[in-house]
Each structure stands twice: as structure tokens, then as C-alpha cells.
A and B are shown apart, each in its own frame.
Chain A
């Protein structure tokens, strides 16, 4: 197999190093003696999948800490796919070069709504039946987890088992349970698995609908199957497993550096933010743990940079000491520190200056909305003054270019809010030109707002494509020198919107779209909106039902049975506050604001800054 690959196949494809495996720090466990055999399958290309932290954690955890085995597989790029189909090569794992169908468990990572067609394609390339109901005793169990699994319903036809919440909590337990029940038939085994907290087996439920297509009820088919699925949470992140020896790719990947997860969760409470709600509560690692993890990862990879990844890294309670400590320890060897997400304030800029090795590159900030009114609606706790002082600090210290992230199509947005974006850009430019002899470059990237499940805006209508196009045209109506605007594709955002808040009836549409050739839908060169619309039409499903409709508080949402800890009442209240333009504070600063996560999941906010400072003292 490997011979044939090297001789006949790989010389004919682009980026062959995607398919060769055998990287440094790869773990090849013995097949025969390992208990449950799982392959972690990422529904996008190698360089994206390999950049994902969750995958690195699970790979190390299962292989180093359990008797089970985990290998890896990624979506082949279309050139490779067509050769594999021609030559009858099944999709294989990068460790043992075994076909995916040989494993007990094939586990997909759901990071993005539109990667579902790649999942179907990967199953098809493995010769595994696409739908749960078609799979037999000899087929692997198809499992999935990740942020998109917090609304698993659109994928219910294809996935046998979903993991809800932190994977490192539920996965080892699941693999043990699977191993202990491996003698059972498929259905019995699934019923056993469904009893584990955080596990959802969609086939074991029946959903009924009203004539207006909203959900009437959903019920487990058997006694003992839970009707509510509660997410799993790592209570003590500081003690949780984190890989010291991540696989070091040979080819350049998207995030080609050592990564520290300084914390999980974010309490800022931006009302549009899915991650901010589903990953509550905030749990930090201690600074000593992080120093140790940085040291070990660098020792085993030789990376030239260590990045502090998290939803909002600058909120880490000891970020200043952490950054300075890392720079002091590793800087003299030419190893840099990267801060991927900055807060909009002057402190962030100062810290960015501390670590920034090359001047004149781009600084990125995310005010999200153009007017104060709208920023209050979305609970982005930033005012214009703060933004301008951050920008001033940046230009003062030599940055030449700034990139700002905004969203268009937010609830209550009007023309003034859009003009607010343009005014803000003008002001930023003005500030920049006070400090720089050359004209500064301002870039604004506009995403189209997609309401996400489990957020205060889950009831809100999403703008339709015509409305978005209109807004884009309005923003583009006059050109401004040295200010560049770029927009996310409104058709892609629309489809994301359908799937994000979809129900299990979408399975048919997804299957049809894949059959029509949809795959790599997140890649503009392969995305075909027409094919998707044809598929909706063919299945007689109206996509607007999922996207542009205002939903009532009383409506049963397809994802209501997934308990993220945050209560529906809290989300509704936040939505009301949003409509009134009232801010909600961060519970880290003012104490509990009653979102419900800490009480219902019996976990606590875990802030380690105090302890860190005590250490120093």
C-alpha cells in the first residue's frame, strides 16, 4: 500500500506530504494488543486538521493514557480523491495505513457546519454506509464531537454517537465502555453507550412536528434513555491532560507553532457568541503549569514560536506575567510568543508590543459593530474611546497596518450602525496618520452574522441574502483611500445559518447535496450555492424556515434537549436586555449573573490569577 502510494499515487497530487504520515512524535500503537481502535477523522485537509488543538489533546490522551489506540485521517483534496477512486484506494489512517473501515470507531471532529459533506465523502471513500440505519454489525461506529455538535440534529441521520462537551472527559469513558460491551450487537451496544453522561445516540429518539413544521415533541424510544443530554466539563483544567509531544508535521500547517491553551471558556457574554456560551464556565491553567507545558512542547518539537490560544487570551488573570515570563525564558534562543486574539484596549497593545518581533505587520482588533448602540445590543463591552486609545497606542509604537473585524446583519442593525463602521474606520485612519509619515493601512473584514444555537440570539431572524447584499452595497458605495473592506460570502453564511439552527429533517438535503457533488463547502473554489438550493428544492424543504424566521420563546428548538448548563431563561433574558440595549457585566468582575452553568454542572469558575500572584509574593 505504502509502496504504491509513493511510486504511483503521490507524485501525481498537489502537496503529497499531506498523505504520508510518519511525522516526528507520531504514536503507533500495537494493533493486536490495543483495546478499542479508533481513528480521529478531521473533515478538512491535513494542514487545517493538524492545526486543531482538540485533536492533539485527544490523540495524546488516548494513546498515552489508555489501553486504546487512536490514529488520524484527514479529508483528501479533490485531486487525491479522484485518484483514490480511480485506483480503488480506500481512505486510510496515517499511522498504520489501514482503511478506516477496519477500526472500531471512526470519530469526526465537527468544527464547522459545512464540513458535513466532507464527512459523507470520507465515509464513502471508506466504503462505510452513509446513514446510521444502513450500517451493519461489521461497520465501525461513527461518532462525532466538537462545537457544532451542540446542535447535533442536522447530522442525526449519519452519526451513530455524539459527544457533547469536553472530549477529554467523555471519550476515555466511552472507549472503555465500548470495549467492555464489544460482544454485544450494534443496537444493544448503542443503548448501553447512551446511558453515559454527555453521549447522545440520535437513533434512539423520535421527533414529531406540528403542521407549521415546528417541533411538537421528542421522546426516547426506550425506557432508560435520557431525554436531556448534559454536556461534559473538565472541572480542573490545570490537572487535565495536555500533550507535551504533539505530532510535528513535515509540511507547513496553518498554525505551525507550539500552542498553549491558557484557559477554556469566556465570561464576557457577547450575545452572538456560541463559544462564549457553550464552553462556560471559564477555567484557567496555573501559570506554572503553562510554563512547564511550553518548555516541554518546545523541547519535543523545536518550534520557533509558542502561541497563547484561547477564546480571549488577554483575559487570562496572569497574562502579563505569563507573556513576560515566556519571552524571558525562550526569547534568547530566538523563540517568539504569539497572541492570536487581542482585546480592544491599550493594555493589550502594550503586551503585543512586548512580544512583537517584526514591526510593521498587522494588528488585529474586533470591535464587531460600528455604533455604540449596537455594541451595547450585542454586549460587546467596548466604547469608541477605548478603541481609539488602543489604536493610538498601536500606531504610536510603530504598527503600520490595522485589521478590524465587524459583523453585519446583527439584530436591530440599521443604516446608522453601518455608517458607524465607516466613521470608525475614518477615525482610526485619522489617528494613524497623526503618528506615521506614511499613510497607514486599515483593513476591515465583515462577517455576516449567523444566529447560533444556545446563544441569546438563537430566536433572532438572520438577514436573508438580498438584505445582506444591500448592506454590502451600502458600505461599498464610496471608496476610501487606504481603507480596504472585505466581506464574507453571504450565500455561504446563509447555508451556515440553515445548518446551525437546523433539525434532523435536513439529513435528506445534506445527502442530496453530497450526491450532487458538494464537498469542501468551506472553500470558495468548491462551494456551489446552486447545488444546495437544488437539493432543498428536490427535498421540498424551505431553507428560509430555519434562517429568516423570528422564533417564539415558546417554540421547542431542535437543540433544547442539549443541556449546556446555561439556562434557557438566562438566554431569553439576555435577548430582552439586548433589545433594550442594556449591557450585562462579566461575572468575573461583578459576581454571579445567574447564567446557571456553575450550579447546574457543579463546577466553578476557576480563576488562577490570585494563586499566581500569591506564588510570586
Chain B
């Protein structure tokens, strides 16, 4: 039985690396005595595959992993057993069974939404958004492995939403992940700085979720599975 799981990583765990996060989940699987399947070979490991890497420094509202089980169990049973042993800083919110042939998360996730929470007392955020969306190119120096190359973010920025709360504004930027261009959150920070939004106004950054974009629609990796059915 194969399942796909959506979980939230609380802001206290924002400094964990991807490997640390994988350990947290694997150890919880063992503590909860989940009937996980093991790989063959000299060094058997749990058949777990993680979604896209949550960057160090960010927390995540909707993160994903796929897991292979060696026997059937109910989805509710899985979630409640896991939540009982996970630290309070991580919580499983949804899960569903997926077909054996469902492509891996890393293959299908092609969009991400990052949320920048800013202290917006005296900035006109919607004017900023309009001018960003009206530009033809949004050039930054790339970060990550291929550092310092000119990179145009324009074609990978799908939409920018603004949500005003009392004191702060959430800027939600929906971007491409992988193809056609892989946009990192720190590149977005550079872009914001360049387009006149002072990074000192940002009080929190997190990843709202990973999505499968088909046409103009963004599907949750859980929902998308059902769409195929």
C-alpha cells in the first residue's frame, strides 16, 4: 500500500536541513510502529520519499512525503498514530492512498507558493505588486548551486496575491518550481529588494505549499491524485 502524506512544519523547526527532516519522519515511523516497507539489500531503508526540499530558515504549511507500507492500514489510523509520537512542532494534516504507479512527488510538483509576511504600515504593497507584474523582465543573480548567473524570474512568477491582516500584509508569490525555471525563495527576496520592497520590512517567510500546476490551475499533490481517478 502506498500513501501520500501532507504535513505542517512549525516555525520552530525552520532551521532543520532536509536530512534532519527525513530523520525526524523516519524515527517517528519507527516509534509509531507503522508497518513501513523496507528496501532490499545489505542496508535496508524505509521506502520513504520526500517532496521538494524545504529551504533552511523557512517553515512549511503543506509539505509532502510518500511512503510504502508492507501491509494495509487505515489512513486515519496512520495519521493518529503518527501525530501521537511526532513532536508538537510537526503535524500530519491529510493523507491518502495513492496508486503504485503514481509518479513521485519530485516528478510532479512544479509550482510553489511562498508567503512573505511584511510590516506594511507605510508601504503601498499593491502599487509594488502592479509594477512588478508589469515588468517584462525580472533579472536577479541566481543563487544555489549555479551561483551568480543572470536569471530572469519573469516567466516563473505565476501570480502575486495580497492578504491584509491587521498589522501586516501577506504577499503570496506563486512561482514555478523546476520547469520552466526553478525559483528559489532567496531569489525572490533579491527581486523584492531590487524592485523597491525593503527586505527589512519582512518579518516572516514560509512556504504555503507545493502544487501541481495544470494549465492555470494549481492542484494539491493530494487532490491531483483524485483528479486522475
Binding site for B on A (CB under 8 A): 6-7, 10-11, 16-17, 20, 22-24, 248, 250-252, 256, 298-304, 333-335, 357-359
Residue contact A302 to B26, C-beta cutoff 8 Å: yes
Complex Cα spacing A326 to B42, Å: 17
Residue contact A357 to B42, C-beta cutoff 8 Å: yes
Residues of B within 8 A of A11 (CB): 57
Residues of A within 8 A of B20 (CB): 17, 250-252
Q: What is the distance, in angstroms, from A509's C-beta to the closest C-beta of chain B?
A: 38
Q: A17-B16, A22-B12, A333-B30 are in contact. List 7 more A-B contacts (CB 8 A).
A: A251-B16, A251-B20, A298-B30, A302-B26, A302-B31, A335-B30, A358-B43
Residue contact A20 to B15, C-beta cutoff 8 Å: yes
Q: Place the interface of chain B in its size category.
A: 20 to 34
Q: What is the distance, in angstroms, from B2's C-beta to the closest C-beta of chain A?
A: 18
Residue contact A300 to B30, C-beta cutoff 8 Å: no
* Cβ contacts A to B, 7 pairs, < 8 Å: A248-B27, A252-B19, A256-B23, A300-B31, A302-B30, A302-B31, A357-B42
Residue contact A304 to B30, C-beta cutoff 8 Å: yes
Complex Cα spacing A298 to B28, Å: 11
Question: Smallest CB-CB separation from B15: which chain A residue?
Answer: A16
Complex Cα spacing A235 to B77, Å: 46
A-B contact count (CB 8 A): 58
Residue contact A304 to B42, C-beta cutoff 8 Å: no
Question: Smallest CB-CB separation from A303: which chain B residue?
Answer: B27
For window 31-52 of B, CB contacts with A under 8 Å fall at 31, 38, 42-46
Complex Cα spacing A62 to B26, Å: 30
Residue contact B42 to A358, C-beta cutoff 8 Å: yes
Question: Smallest CB-CB separation from A302: which chain B residue?
Answer: B27
Residue contact B17 to A334, C-beta cutoff 8 Å: no
Residues of A within 8 A of B11 (CB): 6
Complex Cα spacing A250 to B13, Å: 9
Complex Cα spacing A228 to B107, Å: 70
Asked if B89 lies at the interface with its beta carbon under 8 angstroms from chain A, I say yes
Complex Cα spacing A474 to B50, Å: 52
Asked if B127 lies at the interface with its beta carbon under 8 angstroms from chain A, I say no
B14, B15, B26, B43: residue with the most chain A Cβ atoms closer than 10 Å: B15
Residues of B within 8 A of A22 (CB): 12, 87, 89
Residue contact A250 to B16, C-beta cutoff 8 Å: yes
Asked if B24 lies at the interface with its beta carbon under 8 angstroms from chain A, I say yes
Partner of A24 from B17, B26, B87 at Cβ < 8 Å: B87
Binding site for A on B (CB under 8 A): 11-17, 19-20, 23-24, 26-31, 38, 42-46, 57, 85, 87, 89, 203
Residue contact B31 to A7, C-beta cutoff 8 Å: no
Q: What is the distance, in angstroms, from B84's C-beta to the closest C-beta of chain A?
A: 12
Question: Smallest CB-CB separation from A26: which chain B residue?
Answer: B87
Residue contact A302 to B44, C-beta cutoff 8 Å: no
Q: What is the distance, in angstroms, from B206's C-beta to the closest C-beta of chain A?
A: 13
Residue contact B15 to A302, C-beta cutoff 8 Å: no
Residues of B within 8 A of A24 (CB): 87
Question: Smallest CB-CB separation from B30: which chain A residue?
Answer: A302
Q: What is the distance, in angstroms, from A241's C-beta to the closest C-beta of chain B?
A: 22
Residue contact B203 to A7, C-beta cutoff 8 Å: yes
Q: Which 10 A-B pairs have the closest CB atoms?
A: A302-B27, A302-B30, A16-B15, A302-B31, A358-B43, A357-B43, A334-B44, A334-B38, A17-B15, A24-B87
Q: What is the distance, in angstroms, from A512's C-beta to the closest C-beta of chain B?
A: 37
Partner of B12 from A20, A298, A304, A335 at Cβ < 8 Å: A20
Q: What is the distance, in angstroms, from A144's C-beta to the closest C-beta of chain B?
A: 31
Complex Cα spacing A22 to B65, Å: 24
Complex Cα spacing A6 to B16, Å: 13
Question: Smallest CB-CB separation from A248: which chain B residue?
Answer: B27
Q: What is the distance, in angstroms, from B71's C-beta to the closest C-beta of chain A?
A: 13
Residues of B within 8 A of A359 (CB): 42
Residues of A within 8 A of B24 (CB): 250
B28, B42, B203: residue with the most chain A Cβ atoms closer than 10 Å: B42
Complex Cα spacing A359 to B42, Å: 7
Q: What is the distance, in angstroms, from B148's C-beta to the closest C-beta of chain A?
A: 21
Complex Cα spacing A318 to B188, Å: 60
Q: What is the distance, in angstroms, from B157's C-beta to the closest C-beta of chain A?
A: 24
A7, A10, A17, A23: residue with the most chain B Cβ atoms closer than 10 Å: A17
Q: What is the distance, in angstroms, from A386's C-beta to the closest C-beta of chain B?
A: 28
Q: What is the distance, in angstroms, from B116's C-beta to the closest C-beta of chain A?
A: 14
Residues of A within 8 A of B28 (CB): 302
Residue contact A251 to B17, C-beta cutoff 8 Å: yes
Q: What is the distance, in angstroms, from B123's C-beta to the closest C-beta of chain A?
A: 20
Residues of A within 8 A of B14 (CB): 6
Complex Cα spacing A459 to B45, Å: 52
Residues of A within 8 A of B12 (CB): 6, 20, 22
Complex Cα spacing A303 to B27, Å: 6
Complex Cα spacing A287 to B155, Å: 64
Residue contact B31 to A299, C-beta cutoff 8 Å: yes
Residues of B within 8 A of A10 (CB): 15
Q: What is the distance, in angstroms, from A359's C-beta to the closest C-beta of chain B?
A: 6
Residue contact B15 to A252, C-beta cutoff 8 Å: no
Partner of B27 from A7, A251, A301, A357 at Cβ < 8 Å: A301
Question: Smallest CB-CB separation from B23: which chain A residue?
Answer: A252
Q: What is the distance, in angstroms, from A228's C-beta to the closest C-beta of chain B?
A: 47
Q: What is the distance, in angstroms, from B42's C-beta to the closest C-beta of chain A?
A: 5
Complex Cα spacing A250 to B87, Å: 10
Q: What is the distance, in angstroms, from A335's C-beta to the closest C-beta of chain B?
A: 7
Partner of A334 from B15, B19, B45 at Cβ < 8 Å: B45
Residues of A within 8 A of B26 (CB): 302, 304
Residues of A within 8 A of B87 (CB): 22-24
Q: What is the distance, in angstroms, from B130's C-beta to the closest C-beta of chain A?
A: 30
Complex Cα spacing A251 to B16, Å: 7
Residues of A within 8 A of B13 (CB): 250
Complex Cα spacing A357 to B43, Å: 5
Q: What is the distance, in angstroms, from B91's C-beta to the closest C-beta of chain A?
A: 14
Question: Smallest CB-CB separation from B39: which chain A residue?
Answer: A334
Complex Cα spacing A361 to B184, Å: 37
Partner of B44 from A248, A256, A299, A357 at Cβ < 8 Å: A357
Q: What is the distance, in angstroms, from A300's C-beta to the closest C-beta of chain B?
A: 7
Question: Smallest CB-CB separation from A19: which chain B residue?
Answer: B15
B13, B28, B30, B57: residue with the most chain A Cβ atoms closer than 10 Å: B30
